[in-house]
Structure 1
Amino acid sequence: MAEQRRVNRGPGAAAANRTALIAAAREVFAESGFDAPLSLIARRAGVGQGSLYRHFADREALALAVFEDNVVGLETYAAQPDTGIDQMLELIVDQVVTSIAFVELIDPPLTGGPLAGMSVRVGAMLAGLLERARDRGEIRADLTAADLMLALSMLAALLARAAPHDRARTAEHGWALIRRGLDA
């Protein structure tokens, strides 16, 4: 993505700037880790650092906005009647691989704060998809959203410790193991 600074369009551009900052943060954190320079994110978004700090008080606030955006995207996808549990879990695993730099932010476990709320939302979304899949006989009847959340958390912990060049292969292998446990 080009790193060109846009002309200051004033307060009317606030929503577009925020969206650009979140997209840039997602890319930069994935490429360079959670400690990537915020100035790089601002440049990638095509805004000044002042704009970044008007929207996000600190690195954690920006990372939380990326998580929130990811969860909203997952919820939107899950709401489509033809979305299956397999497709959703593959999308989540892809997001885990892409967002592994954020593991530093969510370690220790999600016991409170805004990430816990997002975790609850993802669990509820998975519960709805599990119900649909159960009704169609696609998964085991005893599988719960909590089971899936635990499996995804274990995969995220494994990926956080995998060498960057091995993450995609490790995620694919981990997903295959998880998938075998879902079968009816």
Structure 2
Amino acid sequence: MEHTRPDARRPANQGPKAAARNRAALITAARVIYAEHGLNAPLSAIARRAGVGQGVLYRHFPDRTALVKAVLEENVRQVEQAAEAETATFADLLGVLTWHLTESAAFIGLLHRDQAGGRSGFREQASALSERVQHSLRAHLPQDHRLNEDDLELAVAMVSAAVTGPTREERERQARAAWRLLDVEVGPVHPFEG
């Protein structure tokens, strides 16, 4: 039996603060692990990278599908946040979107398969997420831009389909090349940090 010293204290339970922090860490870790190892990467690797136990992972995400959906939701939320920034330009938004496409290539492939009749169960969510991204982009699309509102969705789909490669750098190179072929200027490729 282990005895504790009177001056040894347990860390304070941070309750909801820790829960929110753990959830965010799990989403970030899932994005990285899935980008490196694909969607079949072990959930234990995600928990380890996030610095939490598997019980914490399952408390937030009861299965792999719930975690994948949460990462996709977070990606779209960050594009929306970038669109709400006072200084946001269309090129800036495309840079943030491109970062998410390159970081989340495995998810994008899943969405494309589902839209083509796959069985991953994301069809409705994919449609809703796509519409939210389109709404954010349309709000910043200059009137005289090469793309019009009708072409915008097709352009994003074409670029996302081009995001392939084993490394993040290769996927970014492919995405930039696709935007160049469409003659569309993209701002710096980075996550939104608001």
Place the TM-score, normalised by the shorter chain, in its bin.
Answer: 0.7 to 0.9
For residue 47 of structure 2, what is the aligned residue in structure 1?
A: 42
Is 1:109 matched with 2:115? yes
For residue 152 of structure 2, what is the aligned residue in structure 1?
A: 148
Contact persistence 1:30–1:100 (CA under 8 A): yes
Contact persistence 2:83–2:93 (CA under 8 A): yes
Select 2:66's aligned residue among 49, 61, 68: 61
The one-letter code of the counterpart of 1:108 is: D
- Structure with larger Rg: 2
The one-letter code of the counterpart of 1:123 is: Q
Shift of 1:96: 0.7
TM-score, with structure 1 as normaliser: 0.80
Q: What residue ranges of structure 2 are gaps of 5+ in the alignment?
A: 1-10, 117-121, 187-194
- For residues 67 and 42 of structure 1, the distance between their equivalents in structure 2, rounded to whole angstroms, comes to 18
> Which fold has the larger relative contact order, with Cα–Cα distance below 8 Å and residues 6 or more apart in sequence?
2
The one-letter code of the counterpart of 1:79 is: E
RMSD after superposition: 2.5
TM-score, with structure 2 as normaliser: 0.76
- For residues 134 and 19 of structure 2, the distance between their equivalents in structure 1, rounded to whole angstroms, comes to 32
More helix by share: 1
Identity of aligned residues (%): 39
DSSP-derived class of the 1:54 partner:
helix
Count of residues paired in the alignment: 168
Correspondence list, 1:84-103, <5 A: 84-103=89-108
Change beyond 3 A, Cα 1:176–1:46: same
- For residues 181 and 11 of structure 1, the distance between their equivalents in structure 2, rounded to whole angstroms, comes to 45
